[in-house]
Amino acid sequence: MSSPILRVDHVSIAVQDRLKAENFFRTVLGAVPCTSSLDPYMKYTWEIMALGDLSRIEILSPTSQGSFLDGFLKEKWGGVHHVTLQTRDIEETKELLRRNNVPFFGEHSYYDVLWKEIYIHPRDAFGLLIQIAEFHAEDWLSDQVKMPRNCNWMVQKTDSGAQVELAHPGGGKMKLNLTKEEAQRLAQELLESCD
């Protein structure tokens, strides 16, 4: 049986100074803002940013005293809070964890069930807090970092050959630069595979 885990979606970083962190990731590293929200109940904000073709980070920051992040940030200015794994089916994942005697907690559904999640405690995951969620990655990305609707690829001529942009199943797109010879060979192999 194959694993229901599809991929690592993002690394979540908790910070005390959200604006400074956003500036660092956007200005210095070129991250593209995708989506964000404020959670008044848990007293924090989150923001997903895309880096390069397929990598993502999330910045978490407290908005006031009593945030769930207070303990984590008590003696440090920031750090990796958790890693989020995407699953194709949260129920299948829960059953897999039960069969392997791995406890999980924090079962929630958000945004009219656009996001279903569970967590594995660091004591059960070698020191790492793991969030596992069922969602469609495209729902959480900026149009700037994903392919247009109903488009799986785009080809653009370059000085040395072609650049191919491909839609990625985890959301977003990836670029592949091909020499003229590689582009011709790819075109030939695609034609032959369709016969």
Average pLDDT of the residues in 21-28: 96
Identify the pLDDT of residue 90: 96
Identify the pLDDT of residue 22: 95
At position 158, the amino acid (one-letter code) is: T
Continuous H helices in 39-195 = 70-73, 90-99, 180-193
Long-range contacts of 40-49 (CB under 8 A, 24+ apart): 42/67, 42/68, 43/67, 43/68, 44/68, 44/69, 45/18, 46/12, 47/18, 47/22, 48/10, 48/140, 48/141, 49/25
102 and 152 co-located in one domain = no
Average pLDDT of the residues in 118-147: 92
pLDDT for 112 beyond 80: no
Q: Kindly state the tokens that stand for 155.
A: 């080809």
Q: What is the pTM of this model?
A: 0.84
Average pLDDT of the residues in 141-167: 89
Boundary of a domain, candidates 122, 140, 158: 140
- How many CB atoms within 10 Å of residue 161? 16
82 and 108 co-located in one domain = yes
pLDDT for 15 beyond 90: yes
Identify the pLDDT of residue 1: 60
CATH number at residue 81: 3.10.180.10
The answer to whether residues 60 and 46 touch, using CB atoms and an 8 Å cutoff, is yes
DSSP 64: S
Strand bridging mode 55-62 / 78-87: unpaired
